[in-house]
A and B are shown apart, each in its own frame.
Chain A
Amino acid sequence: MLSPYPQLVRAGFRRYAAYRQAALAGLATNAVFGLLRASVLVAALAERGPIAGYDIATAVTYVWLGQGLLNVVNLWADRALAGRVRTGDIVIDLGRPWDLHSALLADDLGRAGYAVLMRLLPPMVIGMVFFPFRWPEHVATWALFAVSTLLGTVVSFGIRFLLNLSAFWLLDARGVLAVWGTFGGLLCGLIMPLQWFPAWAQAVLAWTPFPALFQTPIDVFTERGDPCVLLLHQLGWAVVLFGLGRVALAAGARRLVVQGG
């Protein structure tokens, strides 16, 4: 029998490909915010020259990559899984002949694949064509960036999965997801480069999975630091979060009581 997961990746891709108008509309938001955020960073650099190794080209590249990655790693979680936990429909998902955790990851990777085409590449092209863009110096950087984006997506999935599963214990994961939605952008380096943060904040964040979502792929692309260390940090958190996700799902499933039947 064929493994269902490659087909789930394809299904995830096609599901999002069905909403082309939504993708175009989303691009408008990315473009406006890219312009505004780039203005802020460039204004800061105009005051005193490069900050923490960011010149204007690097800052502009940082902004457009961030706007593009936003929908690939998918920072802002949807509540679908939490909703199925609350209503009990999760029982049906657990009963299917698949590993639910892997199936959802496969679906998310398909979604991310479509987002690379429709949401990541266009903002990058805007940055390349209309702004001073920091091109990678090594050809290998493009491949490393692709791997880093993939790992960032897996880490993001791990966080979103755990937050959604909190519904097993809290019944309503909305508050938890709202907190993540509020702080996520700042902690992951979407809003400001993490290297601009005070040293203590950088030291704390280095021990968290958060930079893996945005700052690390962008650092890989702009060739800051050793790419092996950066990718290993992402890989480590991807594995840890996947493991935690399995434990949490198993623990949650044990709490599940199916009434009647």
Chain B
Amino acid sequence: MDESTGSAAQVYARIVASRIRGQLSYPGSFALDVVAQLVGQGIELLAILVIFTQVTSLGGFSAAEVVLIYGLAATAFGLADLAVGQVEALPDYIRTGEFDVMLLRPLGTLAQLLCADVQLRRVGRVAAGAAVLAWALRDVEWTPVRMAVAVVAPVAGAVILSAIWIAANCVSFWLVDGREVANSVTYGSDFATSYPITIYGPWLRRVMCFAVPGAFVAYFPALALLGRPDPLGLPAALRYCSPLVALIAVGVAAFVWRIGVRHYQGTGS
């Protein structure tokens, strides 16, 4: 048993390594791709800065505070994109029948899909997010708890966003053209988590911040790092709940994926 799990891990390591080697074999093109990802991630930051040329606070948060929320969200999104972004290709695998091939192999379907086309250029997004985050963290008054939050939050946020990404893309098991529906949840979460949740109306906040647990990606950890009260008056304990929410989100995503695969009937051709 140990031997077989060991070999499965080796298989995945080999697949991922081969994909990465393939992309690095065109270094010029790869470097451009990384820069494009880096700049692409920065566009929303520019939008935030444009707003702050007009106002001094947004939803009760200063420019530096919003940039911290953005930095946490961008780093988490970059990591999630790198880890599970390939799940977006699920409709193509279903349409071409390649998903049937995956079902036949003695490996997990989700793991196969995620390893099939790892895009190393997405480190550009992570780098952009981390750079903004590092800048935004320079004024934090450090305590051991805050240090722990600063380290754990981007990872927990990435896990939450990854779970959202996988669960949302499962819609492709039911809808032929479900990619855009999934996009509204995945890229919508990327956008929603980049701003303080105080700016959203009550219904939008319930859906995009709590039902889809976007608020735990950046908003609550940012409150912990800034040591400031929540304008919404929500319990202080919530700011330390991101890892717990991440665990629950993974459980839900795994459950949805399993139902999706069970429902899957192939394209029939």
Interface residue ranges, A against B (CB under 8 Å): 19, 21-22, 25-26, 28-29, 31-33, 35-37, 39-40, 42-44, 47-48, 51-52, 175, 178-179, 181-183, 185-186, 191-192, 196-198
Contacts and interface: CB of A to CB of B under 8 A. Distances in A.
Given A22-B177, A25-B181, A28-B184, A182 B54 contact: no
A48 B191 CA distance: 23
Of B58, B179, B184, B201, chain A has the most CB atoms within 10 Å of the CB of B184
Given A21-B176, A43-B199, A197-B50, A182 B43 contact: yes
Interface residues of B, number: 40
Contact of A185 (B39, B43, B57, B191): B43
B176 A196 contact: no
Contacts of A198: 53
Interface in B34-63: 36, 39-40, 43-44, 46-47, 50-51, 53-59
Contacts of B208: 32, 36
Given A43-B59, A44-B55, A182-B40, A33 B199 contact: no
B183 interface: yes
Contacts of B179: 25
B99 interface: no
Given A47-B57, A48-B55, A175-B32, A192 B39 contact: no
Interface of chain B: mostly helix, strand, loop or mixed: helix
Contacts of A32: 184-185, 188, 208
A39 B50 contact: no
Interface of B: 29, 32-33, 36, 39-40, 43-44, 46-47, 50-51, 53-59, 175-181, 183-185, 187-188, 191-192, 195, 198-201, 204, 208
B191 A191 contact: no
A138 B112 CA distance: 58
B191 A33 contact: yes
A192 B56 contact: no
20 contacts: A25-B178, A25-B179, A25-B180, A25-B181, A26-B180, A33-B188, A33-B191, A37-B191, A39-B195, A39-B204, A44-B54, A47-B56, A48-B54, A52-B54, A181-B40, A186-B46, A186-B47, A191-B47, A197-B50, A198-B53
Given A44-B51, A186-B46, A25 B192 contact: no
B180 A29 contact: yes
Given A44-B51, A182-B43, A39 B200 contact: yes
B57 A29 contact: no
A192 B184 contact: no
B43 A191 contact: yes
